[in-house]
Amino acid sequence: GIGIVLGALAGINVISGPGMLNFENCQSLEKLVVDNEICGMALRLAKGVKIEDETIAFDLMRKVGPGGVYLAERHTLEWIRKEQFIPSEIIDRKEWKIWKDAGKKDIVKRAHEIVEKKLKEHVPEPLHKDVQENLDNFAKDLLKRG
């Protein structure tokens, strides 16, 4: 929430709390997915908006003119992806009727689907041989101690 935004604007690079429930007594993968989205938005806000000749595009404004349509212009398509467009699997920006007709899937259901997909598709990278050896030796040592 606002704490993440304030932290991002202050320039911090470590955020505590994503995925946590009940004052760190519990973790939720679904909440972690949602919190990741919020962190991404906060970082985007902290990045700011570029204000320079290329982004303002006075030449394009003169070309299109009052009442003109900017949506088909290459400049608009390029810069909307850089400055405005924030794709999201979590936030549904469809109009209400389309959302309702599609089954009224809320943010929790969407987050759960993302978690299930990631758990199903994730392939962990194998540990480096030296690391695996150290862990095996550590575990053997613990077993010897009882």
pLDDT digits (tens, 9 = 90+) for 10-45: 998 888 888 998 888 899 999 999 999 998 888 888
pLDDT at 144 over 70: yes
Same domain flag for 54 and 44:
no
Same domain membership, residue 117 and residue 55: no
The one-letter code for the residue type at 43 is: L
Number of domains in the chain: 2
Q: Which positions ≥6 away from 119 have C-beta within 8 Å?
A: 29
Q: Are residues 40 and 106 in the same domain?
A: yes
Average pLDDT over every residue of 32-61 = 90
Q: Is the pLDDT of residue 60 over 90?
A: yes
Q: Are residues 100 and 122 in the same domain?
A: yes
- 73 and 43 inside one domain: no
Task: Supply the DSSP string of 13-27, one letter for each residue.
Answer: -----TTEETTTTEE
- Per-residue pLDDT of 120-129, as tens digits, reads 999 999 999 9
pLDDT at residue 89, rounded to an integer:
86
pLDDT digits (tens, 9 = 90+) for 75-93: 998 888 777 767 788 988 8
**Residue 38 and residue 55 in one domain:** no
How far apart CA 21 and CA 36 sit, in angstroms, is 14
**Enclosing domain of residue 33:** 2-48+88-145
Q: CA geometry: angle at 40 spanning 36 and 45, to 5°?
A: 150
Per-residue pLDDT tens over the stretch 100-121:
999 999 999 999 999 999 999 9
Let me know whether 8 and 73 are in one domain. Answer: no
